Structure 1
């Protein structure tokens, strides 16, 4: 089984380099360059250059920097403050109102940024201390933040869904749309958990009198009207795709235009803000594009050694039930994403998973959507989930142990959701099938 030795060497080198703390793209470049030189000699660098060139000129990847820019403009313009106040007013005078507000905001921010770590850190720094000062439970607040932030890879526009769709040759529009129903289902389950917890222990939320006193002034209609610009941005992205007016690439461009118009509408636009947004977007986009280009070459090297074919033959030759194989394939990201970045795992796993998905007869939209959820669950699983450490580091006074305890109900909610999606695949495939 020479292919297994090759896989062990390749992945061992990658994980070993990442363990040193260097950037993911540098680890991929080092392994690719070394493997090319050892296997093919100097002549192999021609293939290296062609692979990188082909990857960086793929039209589908244009969506990545555009979605990043859209999120940067919305965050840096400060227009999210308007969204917070509007959602807070619309939720109204209900027990534990801010739990619901934070869940909605985390869901929206997660969709805009695509990064669970970024959302959990941002809300942990800005919102959680405010909730504690108002009498909300820090443990429940942390659970809600983790649940909402963890929807980032699922609810569109999802950067990870775009990367998977591009690498696995799956419809990007299909993957984006497939995340809508599962994302709503997980949000509803989290909301149910909030209300059941408050009913069981009313002390985790302020009194009704305090809730009423802290309800923002103004009418619900006014709050709804102030949210229209954000609804416009969402329509410019997902509405265009679902109506068949624009491709994901085109809708990403219209999303940027919508974000600019929102910043102008709220009178938060400035040359300095746009410069910072562009600078940050360019840096992050360049790093991601280099990683993707390196991953494409990595998959070619794996195929060149016969490892991809060998893995497929080995897996299918085990004679295991497809459901058992599916569970095995899902446990791997659940464990590894406690230690490594989600994008890093995607770039390592897609070249190996793709032929297995085809050989085992799985629906690709269904398979990759559930994989996205498992990537997130790995990031919030103790004791190594890095999203947990991001929240603990960002929230003053919130210990790692308390964050760990806060993650357990979130893990249960996500695992229940995955089981439902396995039992009822239409939860994932229904909406893409009718678009």
Structure 2
């Protein structure tokens, strides 16, 4: 078993150091290990696994969710979000700073991508906040923090990958992640309100006065939120009401995104071409990663390597809470050198059996894993959310990382909370879908 583990680590290290893309690298490693350590017909087995994995209902929904996000990226939805939310947060301490968190939360519910959420929402909210004179530090930090919600609030592209690799219901995972996502968003808004009460100067003087928006303005602003509400219902509403499966809901969401683009006069042949091309590129990249991870994970499972590692960790006699905290630190550190998708596919075949053996639920661990992946999105030097904000502001990654630190610590605290009270994650899915 030691030979198997050393072979895996050696091949993985060699491919990453050479710079081979993670998808082809995983497929190559799986083929080599299949040839070396099993007697199965390699090419026939690879063909069978490729068909089974890439035609599963969860993977079929993946390009549709990506296409929906690509289409919305090219609309004026971010402007509509800011205009629709702003009149309703004027009475809160922190005023318009809350538009970033709420905007990210709502866009996450129709996007599924953390980087896209940061880019689309930040393009409008950050520019407007800085123009009005809000404190730059808290504005940048709140955008980086709000962007972390992109993976946690459904629909979530990494959650689809986890569902495939863990062989768990995608609908249960999406349902379980909804409540934690909005609790985290509420925690971020609470932090901003407390900061504003402690330091009123983070809000410009003209915005500290009584809200300039009348009830007439607030009611009119709801029209701007109409496209977002429509898309959330078409995607999440149809799933939770039992009208559509996740893949069907994704298809409905694409139609809804096209309709929004047409109504906002943002749909041109050029934007449609760019959206389709971006979808193909992203889907192919993720598809190769998922297939490679499945091949490697299946080979390792047949060789019983996860059980071997699980037994070794069990011999440490760690309490379940200590094990999860160790994994949280492990993923945060791993996030400094790997991006989120790679972290999931490289570690899940080994980590998941260990977690299940410790008595944790598979759905619960999916939400926990996505939470830690989100934290890794703001852990330098490989931190995609920070790269996006750098492009928006021109600041250094170190500056942005320091400003997002309070939101990062809130996420850490929430990870500890759901470990102590796992029902926060599991209860919604059990209540709505049954055990």
TM over 0.5: yes
Counterpart CA distance in 2 for 1:401 and 1:71 is 29
Q: Which sits farther off after the overlay, 82-91 or 220-229? A: 82-91
Offset of 1:43 from its aligned partner?
3.9
1:131–1:141 CA contact under 8 A, matched in 2: yes
Q: Which sits farther off after the overlay, 406-415 or 112-121? A: 112-121
After the TM superposition, which residues 28-427 of structure 1 pair with which residues of structure 2 at under 5 Å, given as runs? 28-39=26-37, 43-92=41-90, 96-123=94-121, 127-208=125-206, 219-381=217-379, 383-387=380-384, 389-427=386-424
SS for the counterpart of 2:88 is helix
Counterpart CA distance in 2 for 1:361 and 1:414 is 23
SS for the counterpart of 1:261 is helix
Offset of 1:215 from its aligned partner?
6.5
Provide Cα deviations, 1:364-386, integer angstroms capped at 9, x if missing partner.
111221111011112223x4351
Offset of 1:12 from its aligned partner?
4.4
Offset of 1:362 from its aligned partner?
1.1
Counterpart CA distance in 2 for 1:119 and 1:135 is 23
SS for the counterpart of 1:338 is coil
SS for the counterpart of 2:272 is helix
The TM-score, its normalising length taken from structure 1, stands at: 0.91
Counterpart CA distance in 2 for 1:17 and 1:216 is 60
2:377–2:386 CA contact under 8 A, matched in 1: no
1:114–1:159 CA contact under 8 A, matched in 2: yes
1:93–1:215 CA contact under 8 A, matched in 2: no
SS for the counterpart of 2:197 is helix
Counterpart CA distance in 1 for 2:5 and 2:65 is 33
SS for the counterpart of 1:179 is helix
CA separation of 1:180 and 1:37: change in aligned 2, threshold 3 A: same
Offset of 1:80 from its aligned partner?
3.1
CA separation of 1:108 and 1:420: change in aligned 2, threshold 3 A: same
Alignment-derived partner of residue 434 in structure 1? 431
Provide Cα deviations, 1:189-232, integer angstroms capped at 9, x if missing partner.
11111111111111112113587798699721121123222211
Offset of 1:132 from its aligned partner?
2.2
CA separation of 1:79 and 1:124: change in aligned 2, threshold 3 A: closer
SS for the counterpart of 1:152 is helix
Offset of 1:104 from its aligned partner?
1.4
1:230–1:262 CA contact under 8 A, matched in 2: no
2:65–2:253 CA contact under 8 A, matched in 1: yes
Counterpart CA distance in 1 for 2:207 and 2:29 is 61
Offset of 1:245 from its aligned partner?
2.1
Counterpart CA distance in 1 for 2:300 and 2:146 is 36
SS for the counterpart of 1:92 is coil
Provide Cα deviations, 1:314-355, integer angstroms capped at 9, x if missing partner.
233333322222222333222212210111111112211232
What 5-or-longer segments of structure 2 have no aligned partner?
Answer: none
The TM-score, its normalising length taken from structure 2, stands at: 0.91
1:236–1:251 CA contact under 8 A, matched in 2: yes
CA separation of 1:303 and 1:249: change in aligned 2, threshold 3 A: same
Provide Cα deviations, 1:52-102, integer angstroms capped at 9, x if missing partner.
122112222111011111111111133332222222233336553321111
Counterpart CA distance in 2 for 1:60 and 1:338 is 29
CA separation of 1:109 and 1:5: change in aligned 2, threshold 3 A: farther
Offset of 1:155 from its aligned partner?
0.3
Offset of 1:108 from its aligned partner?
2.7
Structural RMSD (CA)? 2.6
SS for the counterpart of 1:340 is coil
Counterpart CA distance in 1 for 2:7 and 2:30 is 12
Offset of 1:160 from its aligned partner?
1.0
CA separation of 1:238 and 1:40: change in aligned 2, threshold 3 A: same
1:139–1:405 CA contact under 8 A, matched in 2: no
